[in-house]
Chains A and B, each alone.
Chain A
Amino acid sequence: MSDDIESRMRAALRPVAPREEFAQKLLAQTIVDPPARSKPRDFTAAKLRPLAWWLTASLAASLVLAVGVHRHLEQQRMQQSGLEARREVLKALRVTSQKLNLAYEAVKSQSEKSGV
């Protein structure tokens, strides 16, 4: 039984020589097919062109954004420095006036004592 199956399988799977027109059809198909092989090149050119455009646009936008942010931060830093300088000036004048006041009070007190 098993021998029968085996022999039937062998018969079914035996090497068979191709028919004559097979080689011709295959060759014909191969000649017709070349454009199909060049498809990936089309994909690269056609698909990458908008991608490159978007990439360039994104880079340009990023650059503009970076410059804008930098300028904004620089302005903020300048403003902080300016306000800090203003505070320092007012503080310096306040300390100066306190000491002038101290001297003034002493001079005034001495003048009053001497009855001038």
Chain B
Amino acid sequence: MSKYTLTLLIALLAPGLSWAASGPKLTIPSFAGLAQKASESVTITLDPAMLGMAARFLDSNDPQDAATKDVLKGLQGIYVRSYTFDRDSAYSQADIDAVRSQLSAPGWNRLVETRSRKSHADVDIYIMVDHDRAVGLAIIASEPRQFTIVNIVGAIDLDKLHRLEGQFGVPKLDIDASKAAKPAQK
């Protein structure tokens, strides 16, 4: 298990998952209260137009840019909210539940749920699949001083994501891409 990665896990489970009625784009609350309390906040909203614009400014001759451009091709949106606080427990469970409740809708499947007693970091990874293709990805990460939500909408090509390994801090996961083709039921 340790040799396999989250990406492989996603790839193996993805084909057996059902299509959702709710859609892969989450309704992310404004979190205005959190933003005020946070010492650092990241709010990224990239719709198809912005992704297209960004793709035009990625240099195809640069390996990292080229890989990123390739990943962006099928995407329809990337939404990130991340809040960092100066003290522990500055946000409430209700803040997380506002998003988590949407992920209990049909179509979303939780692939990974990690609870670390050591770092007190909880990470949940959800995926939405349509016709053997991942069309939505959601990550909810709650740490004592940080709360992050990532929602990627669109055709997420896992092979292309695999190619991003070793870049942007994505761990080098030693994935055998051919194994990712093997379907598995949830």
Which residues does A use to contact B, with CB under 8 Å? 78-79, 81-83, 85-86, 88-104, 106-112, 116
Contact = CB atoms under 8 A, between A and B. Distances in A.
Chain B facing A: main interface SS: mixed
Contacts, number: 112
28 contacts: A81-B53, A85-B50, A86-B54, A86-B57, A86-B58, A89-B46, A89-B78, A90-B68, A91-B80, A92-B80, A93-B78, A93-B168, A95-B44, A96-B152, A97-B164, A99-B141, A99-B148, A100-B7, A100-B125, A102-B121, A102-B143, A103-B114, A103-B125, A106-B119, A106-B121, A109-B118, A111-B1, A116-B2
Interface string B42-60: 1010100011011011100
B172 to A, nearest CB: 11
A85 to B, nearest CB: 4
B50 A103 contact: no
Given A102-B123, A112-B2, A89 B54 contact: yes
Chain A facing B: main interface SS: helix
Interface residues on B, range: 35 or more
Nearest to B139: A99
A62 B100 CA distance: 58
Given A85-B57, A97-B169, A106-B123, A92 B46 contact: yes
A83 B55 CA distance: 10
B22 interface: no
B99 to A, nearest CB: 14
A93 B171 CA distance: 13
A85 B46 CA distance: 8
Contacts of B46: 85, 88-89, 92
Given A97-B164, A109-B116, 10 more contacts: A85-B51, A85-B57, A90-B168, A91-B42, A92-B150, A101-B170, A102-B114, A102-B141, A106-B114, A112-B2
